[in-house]
Every structure is written in structure tokens, then in C-alpha cells.
A and B are shown apart, each in its own frame.
Chain A
Amino acid sequence: MANGILVYIEHVDGKINRASLEAVRAAQLIAGQTGQEISAVVLGQGIGDIANEIAGKKLNSVYTVENDWLKTYTADGVTHALRQVIEQTQPALVLLTHTYEVRDFAPKLAASMNRVLVGDCISFRIENGKAVFTRQVFQGKLAADVVPVGDTPHFVSFQIGSYRGDESEAGQASVSALTVNLDADLVRQQPEERFKEAKAAVDLSQAPLIVSVGRGIKEQKNIEIVKQLAEAFGAELAASRPICDNEWLPMDRQIGSSGQTVAPKLYMAIGISGAIQHLVGMKGARTIVAINKDPEAPIFEIADYGIVGDLFEIVPALTAEAKK
């Protein structure tokens, strides 16, 4: 009989991806209401330190799998290894954080076991003893309450930032090694070294004030008015992805899941609708100001101050006011 929660721990270059601790925290909160046991699994090579760090969390057990084929992440390698771990440990719920890595393998893993993955959830609650998961649809404009259907294990991933990893409770879990079988036929992807395109010249993560521009600016030449506002504020200039894709600003100014993550005192979002990929990069800001013509834009969900209107009128007025 399947029961318990299994949490997938992601790591790179010998370090835990801190986002995985958010799944640990989510598991602790769910278990607090359901009484389930929690285990965590670390796959890789030379992962003793990572396993020990995770074993310092309030969990029942930590499973480690050391295998040559898991030295570097591949979708095939992790899928087959994790599937064998699940078959050996029989969890009812597998929790993951919705990182790029999880997006790459988790749908395959769930499908290979003929099970459901409810992906990119933002919260859970227990209704009549059953977990209900909330996920965003239409790029955050609407929310949906969803329950997984069919046999367990159910797979659920939580959006980055949904739970506080630093609030995960400490404890002492036992660590035990599991064995899986992998070979060259199973692992078809051959990854090369990870690399960065260009050295990030600007470290926006330390900037106290950030003025950020998005698609609403319409044309490259219009960015000048936002630049002037940033200068008047003494703030760093940043952008959402479409601006950097168009090369209107360099990529090292990009905020979001594929760019930098920031938590400044002030984040001013100008003409940024607030796609999830952008929000995960800035929602930790202490004060958020949003200027957008669309009152329904998701950016207003997280803004402290909202201005619905024409940025081409409001931004120059703000610059003038800031210079007073």
C-alpha cells in the first residue's frame, strides 16, 4: 500500500538547489495535516554532503542513489532512476519544485508510470481529507483548484517561491542508499558543460532600487524615458524577457526565471504585465510599483502601488517629480 511523501532534491556543482527546500517545506506542511511520513531523494555521484545537509531537515528518511549515469543531469537518467526509487519506496505523493530541471523530466516520469503530474502549483489545502492544489491558468489571470485523479503516486510540482524553503523545519533523518540500474541504452541524452553566454556585467541582485521596463514600452527608442526615470531615482535599469530578446537592452539586465532574481527595496515595473516567469524573479522586492494600461495585468496582484494608465504620460511626470 502506497503512502508517504517523497521529495525530489535537485543539486548542481555539489550544491543543493535552494528551490528544492521549498518542496521540503510544502511536504512538511502537508504532512502536518495528513500525518504522512516524508522522505527525500538525492540522485547523483559524490552526493554524501548533500544528503547529510538534507538529513538535517525534519524528515523521516533520506534516500541516496549513487550511479555513474547520474553524474550529470539527463532527463532519461533521472527519470529511470527516480522511477526505480519510487517503485522501491512506494510513496503516495511525489513533490517537486517546478524548476527548469523538473519541467524537463517530471512529465516523462509521471507518464512512464501512467500517473498524473499536477505541475506548477502555488498552494495546497486539505478538503475532506484530500489534497486540493491551486495552479495558475491563463498566465496568472485566473487560478484553478485541481485534484489529481487515478492511482497513486500522484506527482505535484510547486512554482518557485510558493513556499519558504528557509522556513523548513530542522530535524534528524536517517540516510540510506538505494541501488538503481541504468545503462547507455536508457540514457540517450549526452550533455555538455553548462556555460554562460556573456559574463553578467551587472549584478542586479545587490541593487537597492530597480526600475524595470517591459513590452508596454513598444519601441526601443522609448526606453530612453525609463532610463531617465532610473537616473532620477538613482536606480538600476532592468527589463523583462521580451525586451532582452529584442536586444533593446542587454541580457544581463533581464529579471526572471531565465535572468536574475532580485529583492530590492523598490521594484518599479513599467509596462510589464507580470508573466509568472518574470514574477518569480522579483516578487521578493519589499515595495513593488506597477504602471500598466491593463487593469487586469497580473503584475497588480503583487504590487503595493498600482497605476493604471499610459506609461508615456506617467513616467515623464514621475521623472520630473523625482528631480524636484
Chain B
Amino acid sequence: MKIIVCLKQVPKNDSILRINDQGNWIQDRDLTYEINESDAYGLEAALQLKEKQGGEVIALSLGPARVQSVIKEALARGADRGIHLEDPAFDKLDAYGIAAVISAAAKAEGFDLLLTGLQSDDYGFAQTGVIAAELLGLPHATIVMDVQPGDGSLRVKRELENGYFQWVSMPAPAVLTIQSGINTLRYATLKGIMGAKKKEIKKLDVTALGIDKAALAPRMEFLRVYVPQKSKQTQFIEGSPAEIAASLMEKLRNEARVF
């Protein structure tokens, strides 16, 4: 089974975010990055499928030179090779643009399964995998918890709302978006890190992928980005732990009247 897993590099979860001078996104400088959380679970799902079924796992990432660290991390954890999609034209793409580039690369590569995380921790569109499926003309399922490959088909467990789940079957190849927390992430071993150095990372740009730049035109404009206004006025309680405890209990009893 040939699996392509898409890995987005995002600012670390606890990053301090500063708005850029144009006021329409964040400043890139001084940030440290990590693999988008649900994408890491997609990678783990791919590696576990390969261990059971055999085949190949290809780690794909789109972005500037820094995203190579995400691909290298995936190779160290056990992916077989990498694809790095890099071009100035890929800067600040929206979900459709990212999906257009990924689907062009995936189509050229060929695959049985294309995996993404269910949403990114930066833009949070939750659209890229589904749009890629549409552009590739393939069936898809989202918020996937478990994957059972069959003969030319797949049976996947989807998470629904309110504690419900559902198994859905579809022909392969297919595109799945993976839910966070469905497996236990592995760490790269020293052997894995050493082995990763010999693995291939193929770089592809807009020309190599034969992408019509018109497809990458933004479909939404970010007018401004800002720290959200509070919908509630929060009373912050300060002091020693004992003082905080006494003050909070007093407020809960006499102000909020919850006891």
C-alpha cells in the first residue's frame, strides 16, 4: 500500500504570536515550529498501516525551506521518502490553493491512500484534504479514527457528534482526514534519525508540478487579524493560593451564587 501523508508545519502551540505590520497575519520571525497536531496522528496511522500491510509511506510538506525539518522528522520516525513542495507562488495559500498543489503532486506520484490531519492549528480551515479529494476525483472521509484496508477498498471509522461513530466503506484510492489522539505517536529513534539522512527528499515547484497559477489565486481576503475582544469581562483573582481560594469561594457564594 502506497500512502502519502501530508504534514503541515505550524507555529508551536505555546508560541507568542505578534501581528505583522500590515495587520493581516502574524510575524514569521522568532517563531519556532512543529508538525500540526492531527497531521502527526496521520503520519502515525500511515506508519502503522505500513507495518501491517507492507508498502511505502511518503511524507509530503508544502512551504519554505524550514518545512524540511518536518519531512526529516517523519523520515526519522519511519517514512520512506519525502516530497517538499516549495515555490514563492506557494506563499500564504488558502485551503483551495494548498489542496491544488498537494493534489497535483499526489497525482504525479500515484498512491492508494492520501492522508491529512483533520484541520490545521493555524488557519483551521479543515478543508484541505476534502478539496484535494474533489480535485483528484476521489472519494473521501473526514474525522477518521480507524482504517481497515480491503481489496481495492477501505472501511474507515468516522467520528460523529454526541459520542456517535460510523463505519463507512469506499473504493480506494481515497483521501482521509485523520482525527487527533487516535493512536500513540512514536518518537524517532537514534537509528531512525541516522537512517533518515540517506532517504530521498524530492523538491517540486510550480513548474515541475505543471500548475496553472490562476488556480492558486486567493479565494478569500484577510482584511485584518487581531486579538479577539472578550465576550465576557473576566475578573482575574490574584494573591497567594490561599488568598485566591478564599476570594474565589466568596465570589462564587455571594456574587455568582452557585452554592
Q: Is B209 an interface residue (CB 8 A)?
A: no
Among B19, B118, B165, residue most surrounded by chain A Cβ atoms (within 10 Å)? B165
Selected contact of B130 from candidates A100, A107, A241, CB within 8 Å? A107
Asked, given contacts A147-B223, A209-B258, whether A136 binds B163 with beta carbons under 8 Å apart, the answer is no
Asked, given contacts A116-B96, A118-B220, A317-B242, whether A108 binds B235 with beta carbons under 8 Å apart, the answer is no
Among A117, A132, A276, residue most surrounded by chain B Cβ atoms (within 10 Å)? A117
Give A79 to B147 CA distance when docked, in angstroms.
Answer: 23
Among the 9-residue stretches B52-60, B76-84, B136-144, the one with 4 or more Cβ atoms under 8 Å from chain A is B136-144
The interface residues of chain A lying within 8 Å CB-to-CB of B13 are 139
Q: Which of B217-259 contact A (CB under 8 A)?
A: 217-228, 230-232, 234-238, 241-242, 244-246, 248-249, 251-252, 256, 258-259
Q: Which residue of B lies closest to A19 (CB)?
A: B161
0 or 1 for each of B114-128: is its CB under 8 Å from A? (1 = yes):
000010011111110
The interface residues of chain A lying within 8 Å CB-to-CB of B143 are 100, 103-104
The interface residues of chain A lying within 8 Å CB-to-CB of B227 are 141-143
Asked, given contacts A138-B17, A286-B258, whether A147 binds B220 with beta carbons under 8 Å apart, the answer is yes
The interface residues of chain A lying within 8 Å CB-to-CB of B224 are 144-145
Give A113 to B86 CA distance when docked, in angstroms.
Answer: 27
Interface size on B, residues (CB 8 A): 78
Q: Which residue of A lies closest to B143 (CB)?
A: A100
Give A101 to B142 CA distance when docked, in angstroms.
Answer: 9
Q: Which residue of B lies closest to A117 (CB)?
A: B127
Q: Which residue of B lies closest to A308 (CB)?
A: B236
Q: Is A31 an interface residue (CB 8 A)?
A: no
A303 touching B234 by the CB < 8 A rule?
Answer: yes
Give A117 to B158 CA distance when docked, in angstroms.
Answer: 22
B248 touching A305 by the CB < 8 A rule?
Answer: yes
Give A34 to B159 CA distance when docked, in angstroms.
Answer: 37
Give A324 to B158 CA distance when docked, in angstroms.
Answer: 47
Selected contact of B139 from candidates A76, A144, A192, A306, CB within 8 Å? A76
Among the 9-residue stretches B105-113, B167-175, B196-204, the one with 4 or more Cβ atoms under 8 Å from chain A is B167-175
The DSSP consensus for interface residues of chain B is mixed
Q: Is A166 an interface residue (CB 8 A)?
A: no
Q: Is A219 an interface residue (CB 8 A)?
A: no
Q: Is A63 an interface residue (CB 8 A)?
A: no
Shortest CB distance B118–A (Å): 8
Selected contact of A108 from candidates B126, B140, B164, B221, CB within 8 Å? B140
Give A318 to B67 CA distance when docked, in angstroms.
Answer: 45
Give A138 to B13 CA distance when docked, in angstroms.
Answer: 8
B168 touching A241 by the CB < 8 A rule?
Answer: no
Q: Is B135 an interface residue (CB 8 A)?
A: yes
Give A154 to B220 CA distance when docked, in angstroms.
Answer: 10
The interface residues of chain B lying within 8 Å CB-to-CB of A304 are 232, 234-235, 256
0 or 1 for each of A216-260: is its CB under 8 Å from B? (1 = yes):
000000000000000001000000011001000001100001111
Shortest CB distance B249–A (Å): 5
Pairs A–B under 8 Å by Cβ, sample size 8? A75-B130, A100-B160, A145-B222, A190-B168, A197-B163, A258-B163, A289-B248, A301-B230
Give B residues with C-beta under 8 Å from A. Answer: 11, 13-14, 16-17, 19, 24, 26, 94-96, 99, 118, 121-127, 130-131, 133-135, 139-143, 158-171, 180-181, 217-228, 230-232, 234-238, 241-242, 244-246, 248-249, 251-252, 256, 258-259
The 8 nearest A-B residue pairs measured at CB: A245-B181, A116-B219, A107-B127, A317-B241, A107-B130, A321-B245, A317-B245, A188-B139
